[in-house]
């Protein structure tokens, strides 16, 4: 195989394997060191956030609308019983993500209702007999992530949400099993080939769907199918160079896929309606098994999956929660806190949802929440004290300086003193939001 052919294959392998490596790297980081507001927590236990995210949290585009409860599953210990409390109709979701970052099940308000439930989570190819056969979730890989989100309106709502978090419980169906954890890559592999070493080891430990296994065979010349001793420990210089060059090309391909398209209309909100539709093989409880929510071209799905893992790891399908963002105003000028902007919803033009909607403010270039005198990082239909327009519409005000008009100040979302990127989130979006009938109005500079 020629050097250019090896480089091209290595680039394809990066796109294909990036979600597995990125996802499991985050799993390992979570178990060992925690993540943001969530403390380090062993496998098969929930970590609970005790506060909403804020500007001190070093996490891109972190969600301020919810309190998180997250568990890393390792089903090598055996099936796990999951007990979910009664949420009394309040919005929540438990999203299940496999090692390849496929969303394979949802429990929650939309998917299964708000009553108390008990589920059995089983590993792939499990042949036991559950006590409640209609309450089984089959995980595609032995390691998976449960991302729980509980709607929270603020500190006054913490006691209610914390009681719900305390009602979440994981326990082994048969106590006494051992957790295997993540297999360790060879530490002697040089850093420039560490990605391929992680991919080699984790690809073998967490096999994907059958069709993907067939696709993986083409990567044999890269050493990704080699068992035992790592082929990257003392690799030949020319081979190493080809793999490193291909990795760089693959990384650039993924970065390109996360950038907004050029030439979009000024002020248009960009919604990733189908970014997480790459799972076509394992559609469990709460997923929509419908062609509309599947990417039919498997090769195209690999790039979409990598872009989703890069831009929004562990994000949900749009039918659960829809996000849209913009970085420019109605005239195509970049948003900047030095200006004053309005986002005006007509009386019949509020975002259609079955749960709630919110607008969150992020500074650029790091996409983090920015400190402000109100400690207000999001505004939406649950925000107390909003003032409606005389015709019943709603106008939100975005600026660094507080508006002098009392009505505008009540509807103020503080912006940083510089470039910013607002993100609109619709929880349980309505049909009009999902089929494109509903369009968010542009942000206008006043």
Q: What is the CATH number of the domain that holds 26?
A: 2.60.40.1610
CATH of the domain at 424: 2.60.120.1600
DSSP conformation letters of 360-406 = EEEETTTTB----TT---EEETT-TT--B-TTS-EEEEEESSPPSSH
Residue 134 has a pLDDT of: 79
Q: What's the pTM value of the predicted model, to 2 decimals?
A: 0.94
pLDDT at 392 over 80: yes
pLDDT recorded at residue 141: 98
Starting at the edge strand that comes first in sequence, how are the strands of the sheet with 66-74 ordered?
46-48, 66-74, 143-151, 92-98, 103-108
Q: Are residues 303 and 238 in the same domain?
A: yes
pLDDT for 56: 80
Q: What is the pLDDT of residue 305?
A: 96
Lowest mean pLDDT among 119-133, 207-221, 268-282, 313-327: 119-133
Model confidence at 263: pLDDT above 80: no
**175 and 66 together in one domain:** yes
Task: Check whether residue 194 and residue 238 sit in a common domain.
Answer: yes
- Residue 57 has a pLDDT of 79
- CB-count exposure of residue 229 (10 Å: 0-12, 13-18, 19+): exposed
Are 227 and 333 in the same domain?
Answer: no
Average predicted confidence (pLDDT) for the chain: 94
Domain annotation covers residue 109: yes
Cβ atoms within 10 Å, residue 167: 13
Residues 340 and 293 in one domain: no
For the stretch 49-82, pLDDT in tens is 988 888 887 777 888 899 999 999 999 999 999 9
**Is position 413 within any domain?**
yes
C-alpha 326/C-alpha 269 separation (Å) is 5
Domain that holds residue 223: 1-313
**pLDDT given for residue 110 in this prediction:** 97
Q: Quick one: 364 and 303 in the same domain?
A: no
């Amino acid at each position: 195989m020629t050097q250019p052919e090896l480089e091209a294959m290595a680039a394809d392998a990066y796109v294909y394997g990036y979600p597995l490596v990125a996802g499991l790297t985050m799993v390992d980081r979570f178990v060992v060191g925690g993540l943001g507001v969530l403390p380090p927590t062993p496998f098969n236990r929930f970590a609970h956030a005790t506060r909403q995210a804020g500007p001190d949290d070093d996490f891109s585009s972190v969600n301020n609308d919810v309190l998180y409860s997250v568990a890393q599953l390792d089903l090598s210990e055996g099936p796990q019983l999951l007990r979910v409390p009664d949420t009394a109709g309040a919005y929540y979701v438990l999203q299940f993500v496999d090692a390849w970052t496929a969303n394979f099940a949802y429990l929650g308000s939309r998917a299964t209702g708000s009553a108390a439930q008990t589920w059995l989570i089983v590993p792939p190819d499990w042949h036991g007999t559950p006590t409640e056969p209609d309450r089984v979730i089959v995980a595609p890989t032995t390691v998976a992530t449960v991302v729980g989100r509980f709607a929270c309106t603020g500190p006054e709502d913490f006691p209610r949400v914390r009681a719900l978090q305390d009602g979440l419980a994981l326990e082994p169906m048969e106590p006494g099993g051992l957790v295997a954890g993540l297999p360790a890559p060879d530490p002697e592999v040089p850093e420039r080939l560490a990605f391929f070493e992680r991919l080699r080891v984790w690809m073998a430990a967490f096999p994907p769907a059958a069709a993907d296994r067939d696709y993986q065979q083409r990567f044999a010349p890269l050493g990704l199918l080699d068992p035992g001793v790592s082929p990257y420990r003392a690799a030949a210089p020319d081979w190493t160079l080809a793999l490193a060059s291909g990795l760089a090309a693959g990384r650039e391909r993924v970065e390109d896929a996360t950038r907004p398209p050029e030439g979009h209309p000024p002020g248009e909100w960009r919604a990733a309606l189908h970014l997480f539709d790459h799972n076509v093989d394992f559609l469990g409880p709460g997923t929509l098994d419908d062609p509309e929510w599947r990417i039919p071209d498997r090769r195209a799905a690999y790039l979409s999956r990598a872009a989703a893992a890069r831009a929004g790891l562990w994000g949900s399908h749009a039918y659960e929660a829809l996000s849209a963002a913009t970085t420019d105003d109605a005239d195509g000028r970049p948003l900047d806190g030095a200006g004053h902007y309005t986002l005006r919803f007509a009386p019949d033009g509020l975002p259609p949802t079955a749960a709630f909607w919110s607008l969150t403010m992020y500074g650029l270039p790091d996409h983090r929440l920015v400190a402000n005198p109100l400690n207000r990082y999001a505004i939406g239909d649950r925000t107390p004290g909003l003032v409606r327009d005389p015709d019943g519409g709603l106008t939100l005000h975005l600026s660094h300086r507080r508006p002098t008009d009392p009505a505008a100040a009540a509807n103020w979302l503080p912006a940083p003193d510089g470039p910013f990127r607002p993100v609109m989130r619709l929880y349980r979006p309505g049909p009009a939001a999902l089929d494109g009938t509903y369009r968010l109005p542009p942000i206008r500079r006043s």
